[in-house]
């Protein structure tokens, strides 16, 4: 049985087999290992033999090079020392490295893994309060302000992501994925062309800066006294408007929610200038980026969800092409 044919429990068991070897490189011995997320990557909550709680992320689906992951971790390390944003604090290996490379035989691949201090709290999830959306917008602005003076030590660098598919592999061209029918494929290519044109035009006169690029409420943790931001895996050199587009994509079933997130951002930074038409196109482009990303993912849960997701994608594109407005139509 291949890894892709396994169910979620079987896949997690395969990934967990390599956890002790990873932790050993950090000088950590675990008393408990709990998988807390298994989708794009696989993340574990580690309780050490001394009672400390840590977060281990194994980058199973990430296409980032080790030097790009290194830049992500250097960003987090600088945030922990200098910034107002609460984010994971990375730990170093016994060899003083910010990440490790590891072999994962079930997928016949080399991957990377990172270890951070655990942030206690509750994932904001699908029902954020207006106050949490405001705080998310403020954290977005704080990250962008901090990023303007961010520097990386060689060989670390962030990928350039100012396009629809960001830095991920193009799984849509030139060949039509087998899961996507002809009508949907044609609509996806049409939308991809529109979105890429907007990104190219906006990038002509705007400076790129490091952005988080995945600031949705699943990556926000409500602690006792503030909102924390996690999962910088998609971070790259992009446009400020991308952060807002990506965040607002996930709350687009209620456009009133966007006002609170944008208000939080605007309390610290001027909102990026963009026409309403271009903004809607970029929201639609986020959907296409997700289609490209999930089409060839190996997580059992996502493989099972792909037909439903593609059905919703067609409805959402139909809605967009009918009136120019992007909505999370189900």
E runs forming strands in the chain: 30-38, 42-48, 53-58, 100-104, 109-117, 122-123, 209-211, 220-222, 227-229, 236-238
Query: Residue 272: is it exposed, middle or buried by C-beta count within 10 angstroms (0-12/13-18/19+)?
Result: middle
| CATH number assigned to the domain covering 3-119 | 3.30.200.20
DSSP element (H, E) containing 220: strand 220-222
Query: Residue 89 — pLDDT band, cuts 50, 70, 90?
Result: very high
Query: Residue 61 — pLDDT band, cuts 50, 70, 90?
Result: confident
Q: What is the mean pLDDT of the chain?
A: 95
Query: Residue 6 — pLDDT band, cuts 50, 70, 90?
Result: very high
**Residues near 167 by beta carbon (within 8 Å), at least 6 away in sequence:** 63, 64, 68, 159, 160, 161, 236
pLDDT, one tens digit per residue, over 163-197 is: 999 998 899 998 999 999 999 999 999 999 999 99
Query: Residue 121 — pLDDT band, cuts 50, 70, 90?
Result: very high
- At which residue do the structure tokens 């949490």 appear? 132
Region 230-252: mean pLDDT is 97
Find the distance separating the first CA and the last CA of the chain, reported in whole Å: 34
Comparing CA positions, the residue from 210, 235, 253, 219 lying closest to residue 136 is: 219
User: Do 3-119 and 130-323 share a fold?
Assistant: no
Grouping H, G, I as helix, E, B as strand and the rest as coil, residue 252 is coil
DSSP element (H, E) containing 185: helix 182-203
Peptide bond between residue 90 and the one before it cis (omega within 30 degrees of 0): no
Cβ proximity of 83 and 146 under 8 Å: yes
Pick the CATH number of 130-323 from 3.30.230.10, 3.40.50.970, 3.90.1200.10, 3.90.1170.40: 3.90.1200.10
Domain assignments of the chain as residue spans, ordered by start: 3-119, 130-323
């Amino acid at each position: 049985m291949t890894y892709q044919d396994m169910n979620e429990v079987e896949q997690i068991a395969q990934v967990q087999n390599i956890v002790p070897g990873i932790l050993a490189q950090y000088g950590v011995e675990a008393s408990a290992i709990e998988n807390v997320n298994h989708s794009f990557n696989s993340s574990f909550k580690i309780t050490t033999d001394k009672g400390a709680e840590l977060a281990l992320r194994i980058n199973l689906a990430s296409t980032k090079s080790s030097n790009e992951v290194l830049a992500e971790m250097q960003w987090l390390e600088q945030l922990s020392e200098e910034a107002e944003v609460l984010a994971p604090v990375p730990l170093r290996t016994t060899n003083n490295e910010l990440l490790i490379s590891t072999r994962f035989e079930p997928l016949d691949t080399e991957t990377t893994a990172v270890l951070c201090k655990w942030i206690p709290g509750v994932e904001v999830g699908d029902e954020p309060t207006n106050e949490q959306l405001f705080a998310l917008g403020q954290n977005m602005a704080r990250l962008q302000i901090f990023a303007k003076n961010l520097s990386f030590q060689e060989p670390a660098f962030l990928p350039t992501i100012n396009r629809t598919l960001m830095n991920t592999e193009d799984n849509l061209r030139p060949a039509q994925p087998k899961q996507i029918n002809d009508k949907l494929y044609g609509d996806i290519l049409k939308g991809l062309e529109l979105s890429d044109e907007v990104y190219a035009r906006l990038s002509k006169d705007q400076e790129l800066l490091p952005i988080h690029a995945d600031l949705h409420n699943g990556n926000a943790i409500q602690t006792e006294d503030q909102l924390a931001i996690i999962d910088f895996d998609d971070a790259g050199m992009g446009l400020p408007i991308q952060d807002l587009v990506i965040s607002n994509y996930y709350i687009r079933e209620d456009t009133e929610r966007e006002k609170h997130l944008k208000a939080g951002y605007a309390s610290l930074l001027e909102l990026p200038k963009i026409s309403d038409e271009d903004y809607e196109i970029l929201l639609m482009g986020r959907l296409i980026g997700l289609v490209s990303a999930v089409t060839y993912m190996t997580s059992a849960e996502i493989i099972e969800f792909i037909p439903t997701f593609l059905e919703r994608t067609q409805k959402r594109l139909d809605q967009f092409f009918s009136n120019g407005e992007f909505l999370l139509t189900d």
